[in-house]
Every structure is written in C-alpha cells, then in structure tokens.
Amino acid sequence: MKRILITGGSGFIGKAFLQTFAHQFETHISCHSKHIFTEGIYAHKLDIRNENAVNTLLSKIKPHYVLHMAAMSNFNECALNPTSAWETNVQGTKNIAMASQHCKARLVYISTDLVFKGDRENSREHDMPLPQSVYGKTKLEGERAVENICSDYLIARIANVFGKGWEGKKTFTDGIIEELKKQKEVSLFQDEYRTPIYAKNLCELLYEVTLSQVQGVLHLGGPERLSRYELGLKLAQCFGFDPTLIIPVSVKDFKFSDPRPLDCSLDSSKAAGLLKTPFHSIDRCLHMLRNEYGA
C-alpha cells in the first residue's frame, strides 16, 4: 500500500479527505497544535517551520505522496502577523518541498485563488498572479518554492470551500445555516465573486490529481462564478429557509486589514479536460450538503 503524508490533517479539508480516502493509503497526517487520534491513521505533531523536524519525519515515513495543506490561512491573521504568515506559508512550504524532493515523493501543494489581483473573471492557470493580500503573497511564494525545488509536483489552486464542519469548528456554511434556523438575517457580499467548491467534491479531485502524473498548476474551483450573496440565496432555497433573510451588502462599506479582491473566480476547464472526476454543480452539491445536515 502506498504511503501518504497529509500536512494540516486536522483542518477542514484534511478531515474531509480522510473521511473518504484514508483507507486507500497507509495514511500519515501531521498537525501543529491539535493532535488527533483516528483508528488506522498515523498522527504526528509537526511544526513545518522547523526544517530539521520536517526532514526527520519525512525520512522516517518515506511517503510516496505528500498532500501539503498546512498553512496560516486566516486572511486577517495573516495581515496582522505577516512575519508568522511568511514563516509558515513560505518557509514551511520550502521545508516540505525540500524534504519531499529528498525522499522522491510527489508533492501536491494546496494554493489559493487569492494569488490573483481580483480584477477579472475566471482567471486561468497562465494568467499573471498579482496578489494584494499578505495571505495571497505568501501562498504565491509557496508556489514558487515548490516549482523551484520539486521535480514531481502539482500546485492546486482552490477557491473558497464550503461544507459541514467537524468537532465544533464552524465553516462559512455552518454559520449561515445556524443563523437562518433562528430566522435571523445574514449579510453577505454581493460584489465579491469566487467559484465556490464543495469540500467532498474537492477531495475527490485532489485524490485523482495526487495519483496522477499531471504536473504544474491546476485550478480546482467550482463550475459556477457566484457572489457570496448568490451562494447564500441558493443555500437558503435548497434548505427551505426564507431567502429574504439573506441581505446583500458591499465590500466597499467595510474596512479590512488587507485589500479583499473583488473577483478571484477561477476557470477550471483545464482540470475538467484532464481529470475523470466531475466538477459537480452548486445545486447538486448543496443537496448533498443538505443530506449531510440531515435536513
């Protein structure tokens, strides 16, 4: 059985991946602050900023695949703590990339749509990235580290991921559903566009690209360009909540620690042409999500 190391395995996407695909590998996960125990999975505490610790762990495991999800990903936290963001997202990624290359593991690096400026629709892989935020800048530098160090790699740029959270950790959709259940209004941006993707569909795509021989950069966003407001409306309608509780607001009316790109939607047609796994429609994914909630 092939060995896989998933960094950041206790995070939202990591847990979604483990839920479906852990049994397909001898699965190892690394966690920084939270150590989790799951039957059949080897869990390791790891600070990816520590080069020696990274080298020691990968030399011990000798993974065939490394799925690098660990990151400082909170947009505002990165803006307020740029040094920490750089140490984790850039230096940490360099450490993972060098250790992966040393043990001849295929590295799949999870990047973000926020590497783009946000001034155009449906950016493609060959479009010039120009991140405006600390988070986006550090993730782009992580991409460059992987490209420069690894000979077998895939950079997966993902959009905002929606789904049901675990163990009390609320997701974007958890928060909306919780408020709508109480018949409370939810304010969502009508002028910030992304290509949202359902966590389970994303993990299906990540499983395929991990095992594939596809190299370079690949966009893994959902098939529809939507504002957060439009996504909220679709969610409310699918779950049978009152859609008038979804209130449109503008990004321009709020102040943030870093500029928020207005349109980081991704064109994922390249991936759709290369992969067998389908990109499910938002409506289908929301129905799947409703079943997760037992609604």
- The pLDDT tens digits of the residues spanning 160-196 come to 999 998 776 789 999 999 999 999 999 999 999 999 9
35 shares a domain with 74? yes
Half-sphere exposure of 118 (CA within 13 A, CB side): 20
pLDDT at 39 over 80: no
- List CB contacts of 83: < 8 A, sequence separation 6 or more: none
- Total domains present in the chain: 2
| pTM of this structure | 0.95
| Percent of the chain clearing pLDDT 90 (strictly above) | 89
Question: What pLDDT does 37 receive?
Answer: 58
180 shares a domain with 213? no
Question: What pLDDT does 10 receive?
Answer: 86
Q: Confirm whether 105 is domain-assigned.
A: yes
Average pLDDT (230-253) is 96
pLDDT at 32 over 90: no
What whole-number distance in Å separates Cα of residue 96 and Cα of residue 68?
Answer: 8
Question: What pLDDT does 259 receive?
Answer: 87
Residue 210: both structure tokens together: 């991990």
Average pLDDT (59-88) is 96
72 shares a domain with 94? yes
CATH code of residue 235: 3.90.25.10
What are the CA-CA distances from residue 102 to residues 46, 216, 277 (Å)? 18, 19, 30
pLDDT at 62 over 80: yes
Question: What pLDDT does 122 receive?
Answer: 97
Closest CA to 76 of 12, 131, 9, 134: 134
- List CB contacts of 148: < 8 A, sequence separation 6 or more: none
127 shares a domain with 178? no
210 shares a domain with 70? yes
| Percent of the chain clearing pLDDT 70 (strictly above) | 97
Average pLDDT (191-212) is 97
Q: Confirm whether 272 is domain-assigned.
A: no
Give the helix/strand (H/E) hosting 83: helix 82-86
Question: What pLDDT does 40 receive?
Answer: 82
Strands 226-227 and 193-194: antiparallel
Average pLDDT (259-288) is 96
Cβ-based burial of 187 (10 A; exposed 0-12, middle 13-18, buried ≥19): middle
Domain that holds residue 109: 3-161+197-220
What whole-number distance in Å separates Cα of residue 7 and Cα of residue 12?
Answer: 12
106 shares a domain with 138? yes
178 shares a domain with 116? no
- The pLDDT tens digits of the residues spanning 149-161 come to 999 999 999 999 9
Name residue, tokens 């803006």. Answer: 79
